[in-house]
Amino acid sequence: MEADRAPEEQRSGRTDLFLRHAPAALRLAFLLTGDRALAHDLVQDAFVRLFGRLLHLRNPDAFESYLRQTVVNLSRMHFRRKRVERTYLNREQQRFQEEATSPDLDIREDLWQALLQLPERQRVAIVLHFYEDLSEQQASEVLRCRPGTYRSLVSRGIAQLRATVRGDQDA
Amino acid sequence: MPNQIDELDEELRELLRRKADAIGPPDGLERTMRRSTRRLARNAVVALLTLGLLGSGAVAGVRSLGGATGTKPADTSPSPSPMPQASGSSGVRSAVSTEGVTWFHPTPEMPLGLAGADGTLWVASGGNIAFPAPASDPGAEAGVASLARFDVDTGKITTVEVGQAGDVGVAAAFGDAWVLRRSGEVIRIDGVSLRKEASIRVPNPSEAAADGSLWVVSLGGTLTRIDPRTNAIVATIDTGVPATRGIENNGDLVPPNNGVPATGVSVGDGSVWVRGGGRVVRVDPETNAVQTTIDLGGSVDGLAVGPSGVWASVCGPGGPPCTWQLVRIDPATNAVASRRVLGRWESSAMPGVKGSIGRAGITVDSGSVWVSLAVNYNQYARGKILRIDPATGEIAATLVVPGSGGTTVGVTEQANTSDIFGPALIEGGAVWVINIESGEVVRIDLPGF
């Protein structure tokens, strides 16, 4: 138990968890937000929250899934806040565009931009399906929706991406 | 799920892999360690403070609806947890508790309204209102708003849908729940069967309270009187409080300040009391006429009427920035009888300022005035409950509402997330608080009810 261990040992344990899991969490956060700086912030926040709860995790071995859930939750909270507090929306959109990563000429930048323009829940569903390779049950639990809703989110997201990309090509 | 794997799917997988790989290594290890160390220390302090309150008798004991009394919380995870139930569902929700605080989760998404009566707690949730459906795909993302009924004794929770996702409130009256859809509807839900009994068109309903009638105040300041026997509108009264439409969001009206309705209503001392802008308006139910308007300055956030008078939380004189005051109005004279400073709302800008109080809700019972504060609203917010002695106006007890499982929802220098606490409510011998962003309902057992 973390509480029974010396502070240095606790710190070492947390450091190990960070070093082991932070890279994957950062990649997920970046795919969910498209914002490098925000992704770093979200990952830090996720670890701070989870470290505060280490004592109480039902299954400490499932740290990775807790971390994934926390990253998704924090990214959704971020976008929720931005939607509700409209005052900041325009500024954030501008920042979002400015801080997008530089184009990689070898890949479909138009597809990336189309992905970033998807409704946030669709984008999360797409990332969980195509990047995290989660099962329907796992992904719907992360999104806190029914499996049917998750399937619908992925389908609509793909349809939207297809329409956007093909529309661009047709233009 | 589409089974066919076409070219776009493969491109998408490759795109995500390469974008993810390009992000590079994480930074901030040291910063994360410092922050988590501070948080752990803060948790320990809060636990000690809470135990101190227990020792002093300020906290009555542990009440757990989902686990053994007095046990440590089993799980505070962001949850591999049961789905929010969509319609007509029921069950005992997962709950964790520690030192007199019980967290219920998950509730349906975005709990916004809280009401209670006769051992039943009602939570109205807006659904997925943060992600409105795009115009090209209406209804696709919106989801549903819902009403959850908590039996405070058994923990049984039953949930029904109450229309498309959007901003909602709820009132408990005449044995039923009255769901306020800001889009312009009051829905009466039978308290036993949870069937929809009536739909009443009321412009932008903000809050409701009841004596012999249901009184609904609109965001625009109009007071609507509904006869509960017929569900008919019997009077509409222009209270003269400033009209506030709220923010348009997905065709719905979201009140400003992240869900704090701009107007409110309470009944007591033979009158109906309406708040809006910086005013409290007293309405005579005998004549349906405005008796008097009391200008408190600033913005009135909370209003409650009890045996000790009319209590309002006011942030003023302008702002934010502004100073929160707890004001007592003497109903005998309609004059301000006392004012007590609660703290400062330093700024509405993001990031917020440490210690800044973003909202102050009030509820009153026979022996106390309870103030629910959201501290440092624009960053992480701490829910803080003050128990005020109405005789002296002094703070009799303070409790910082921890986050799930004993972790404090603490103030940090980071500004990209928050936990927002809604107003508190007293029901079934406990203070209840909703956490809008985490979707939790928090029960705090305190004595003296």
Contact A130/B16, CB-based, under 8 Å? yes
- The alpha-carbon gap from A50 to the nearest alpha carbon of chain B, in Å, equals 8
Mean pLDDT computed over B259-274: 85
d(CA A131, CA A119) in angstroms, rounded, equals: 17
Of B122, B242, B391, B106, nearest to A69 by C-alpha is B106
Q: For position A63, what pLDDT does the model report?
A: 81
| Portion 145-164 of A in contact with B at CB < 8 A | 145-146, 151-152, 154-156, 158, 160-162
d(CA B197, CA A25) in angstroms, rounded, equals: 48
In chain B, pLDDT over 90 holds for what percent of residues? 27
**Sign of torsion over alpha carbons A90, A91, A94, A100:** negative
Mean pLDDT computed over B422-439: 63
Residue A64 confidence class, pLDDT cut points 50, 70, 90: confident
Count other Cβ atoms within 10 Å, centred on residue B57.
Answer: 11
Phi, psi of A113 (to 5 degrees): -65, -40
Using an 8 Å CB-CB cutoff, list chain B residues near A19: 29
Q: For position B78, what pLDDT does the model report?
A: 34
Q: For position B403, what pLDDT does the model report?
A: 46
> B394: which residues sit within 8 A by CB, 6+ positions away?
B388
pLDDT at A56 over 90: no
- The alpha-carbon gap from A98 to the nearest alpha carbon of chain B, in Å, equals 16
Q: Which of B6, B11, B14, B15 should be substituted to probe chain A, the one whose Cβ sees the most A Cβ atoms within 10 Å?
A: B15
| Portion 47-76 of A in contact with B at CB < 8 A | 47-49, 51-53, 55-58, 62, 65-66, 69-70, 73-74, 76
CB B170 within 8 A of CB B163: no
Q: For position B424, what pLDDT does the model report?
A: 56
Mean pLDDT of chain B: 72
> B44: which residues sit within 8 A by CB, 6+ positions away?
none
- The alpha-carbon gap from B320 to the nearest alpha carbon of chain A, in Å, equals 15
Mean pLDDT computed over B329-335: 95
Which residue in A has a C-alpha nearest to residue B437's C-alpha? Answer: A77
Rounded to the nearest 10°, the torsion over CA A20, A21, A22, A27 is 120
Sheet holding B299-306, edge to edge: B299-306, B309-316, B322-330, B335-345
Which residue in A has a C-alpha nearest to residue B130's C-alpha? Answer: A80
pLDDT at A120 over 90: no
In which residue are the tokens 């409704």 written?
A: A119
Q: For position A60, what pLDDT does the model report?
A: 60
Using an 8 Å CB-CB cutoff, list chain A residues near B106: 144
Using an 8 Å CB-CB cutoff, list chain B residues near A47: 32, 36
Phi, psi of B72 (to 5 degrees): -70, 155
Q: Which amino acid is present at B282?
A: R
d(CA B101, CA B72) in angstroms, rounded, equals: 11
Q: For position B311, what pLDDT does the model report?
A: 95
Which residue has better confidence, B387 or B291?
B291
Mean pLDDT computed over A35-55: 80
- The alpha-carbon gap from A1 to the nearest alpha carbon of chain B, in Å, equals 13
In chain B, pLDDT over 70 holds for what percent of residues? 62
Is the CB of residue B235 less than 8 Å away from at least one CB of chain A? no
DSSP B207-236: EEEESSSEEEEETTSEEEEEETTTTEEEEE
Q: For position B30, what pLDDT does the model report?
A: 80
Two structure tokens written together for B123 = 């939570």
Q: For position B157, what pLDDT does the model report?
A: 83
Residue A3 confidence class, pLDDT cut points 50, 70, 90: very low
Using an 8 Å CB-CB cutoff, list chain A residues near B96: 56
Q: For position B223, what pLDDT does the model report?
A: 96
Q: Which amino acid is present at B226?
A: I
Using an 8 Å CB-CB cutoff, list chain A residues near B31: 44
Of B429, B422, B407, nearest to B45 by C-alpha is B407
Contact A69/B79, CB-based, under 8 Å? yes
Least confident range from B145-154, B220-229, B416-425: namely: B416-425
Nearest to B405 among A40, A53, A111 (CB): A53
Its pTM surpasses 0.90: no
Nearest to A136 among B1, B416, B437 (CB): B1
Q: For position A16, what pLDDT does the model report?
A: 85
d(CA B130, CA A76) in angstroms, rounded, equals: 9
Is the CB of residue B413 less than 8 Å away from at least one CB of chain A? no
Q: For position B364, what pLDDT does the model report?
A: 83
Contact B8/A112, CB-based, under 8 Å? no
- Reported ipTM: 0.79
Using an 8 Å CB-CB cutoff, list chain B residues near A107: 14-15, 18-19
d(CA A117, CA A70) in angstroms, rounded, equals: 22
Residue B138 confidence class, pLDDT cut points 50, 70, 90: very low
d(CA A23, CA A132) in angstroms, rounded, equals: 14
pLDDT at B396 over 60: yes
E strands, B277-368, where?
Answer: 279-284, 289-295, 299-306, 309-316, 322-330, 335-345, 357-364
Q: Which amino acid is present at B293?
A: T
pLDDT digits (tens, 9 = 90+) for B348-370: 654 456 677 777 888 887 778 88
Q: For position B225, what pLDDT does the model report?
A: 98
Nearest to B14 among A28, A101, A107 (CB): A107
Q: For position B435, what pLDDT does the model report?
A: 65
Residue B267 confidence class, pLDDT cut points 50, 70, 90: very high
Least confident range from A47-61, B96-110, B207-221, B314-328: namely: B96-110
In chain A, pLDDT over 90 holds for what percent of residues? 12
d(CA B34, CA B89) in angstroms, rounded, equals: 44
Q: For position B316, what pLDDT does the model report?
A: 84
